[in-house]
Amino acid sequence: MMKVRRFSTAALATVYVAAQIESLMTREAEPVLGLATGSTPINLYRQLVEFHHQGLSFSHVTTINLDEYVGLAADHPQSYRRFMDDHLFSQIDIPLANTFVPNGMAPNLDRECDRYDAIVNAHTIDLQILGIGRNGHIGFNEPDISLKTRTHVIDLTEDTIQANARFFSTEAEVPTRAITMGIQSILQAQSIFLMAFGRDKAWAVKRALSGEVSTEVPASFLQMHPNVTFVLDAEAAVALDDPRTPYPDQENLGSRL
């Protein structure tokens, strides 16, 4: 069942998701969180750090991240391990041994995917946080004629490379490959909260929520999960009200799908 929670602002939406995590953490003895990177969850992590300052302990929490760039070391400023350390792990009391992110520098990437799958399979993710790409990707499962179910190495699409170039000095520095959990790994979570803010995401949100399940819109596979909540600000929800509202680059995007 796809639930949709709409908020007037991203700040309100973020507080809602943070409260869901806090409630899970007080309910479960050993909660497992599936975490995402990108600009969308940054304020969520800020809110969790705030909860920690108010006394919430993460010492009993395990986290499993969705993805990592191939070729970036853990301490590279744009690696996702570094992102998680900076925005969350270094500011709370979680044991680092309980935090999992794929190793983008692994000498044998196939073996790294197997190792990560074993970690995913050994845990039940209670609550998975997802962002969504403007092309409908989740994790780094990019639109394609087929999707991989388990953890795998993927070539990033031009759209994603362009979207992520804002974090690097030049587009040429953006890695072209990533390790990502697969669609099936993501669907194994008990509950999923997909956060989407801004008009840029409106097309992907609408397409994921309604319409066919298609490998061209990986987020549409969430329709097959029993407990998914889309948490949206007003802008990301705009196409739900007005089916004619076009995605800003829809033509451009359409030509690639």
Question: Does 39 interact with ligand PGA (rule: CB under 6 A)?
Answer: yes
200 is catalytic: no
137 is catalytic: yes
Of the candidates 172, 171, 167, which has an alpha carbon nearest to the alpha carbon of residue 76? 167
- Which of 34, 102, 104, 133 is the binder for ligand PGA (CB under 6 A)? 133
**Nearest approach, Cβ of 65 to ligand PGA (angstroms)?**
12
**Cα–Cα distances in Å, from 152 out to 60, 74, 91, 115, 257?**
29, 19, 30, 11, 21
Q: How far apart are CA 48 and CA 45, in angstroms?
A: 5
Tokens read off for 225: 């999960």
3-state secondary structure of 233: strand
Question: Does 157 interact with ligand PGA (rule: CB under 6 A)?
Answer: no
**Nearest approach, Cβ of 57 to ligand PGA (angstroms)?**
27
- CB-wise, 104 or 133, nearer to ligand PGA? 133
67 is catalytic: yes
**Nearest approach, Cβ of 67 to ligand PGA (angstroms)?**
9
Q: Which stretch binds ligand PGA (CB under 6 A): 25-33, 129-137, 181-189, 213-221?
A: 129-137
Cβ partners under 8 Å of residue 16, min gap 6: 5, 7, 231
Which residue out of 68, 87, 137, 235 is catalytically annotated? 137
Give the phi and the psi of residue 141 in degrees, each rounded to 5. Answer: -80, 100
For the beta carbon of residue 108, count every other beta carbon within 10 angstroms. Answer: 9
What letter would DSSP give residue 23?
H
Q: Which stretch binds ligand PGA (CB under 6 A): 25-33, 35-43, 53-61, 220-228?
A: 35-43
Tokens read off for 1: 């069942």
- Which of 125, 132, 174, 202 is the binder for ligand PGA (CB under 6 A)? 132
**Nearest approach, Cβ of 60 to ligand PGA (angstroms)?**
27
The residues annotated as belonging to the active site are 67, 135, 137, 142
Where does this chain bind ligand PGA (CB under 6 A)? 38-40, 131-133
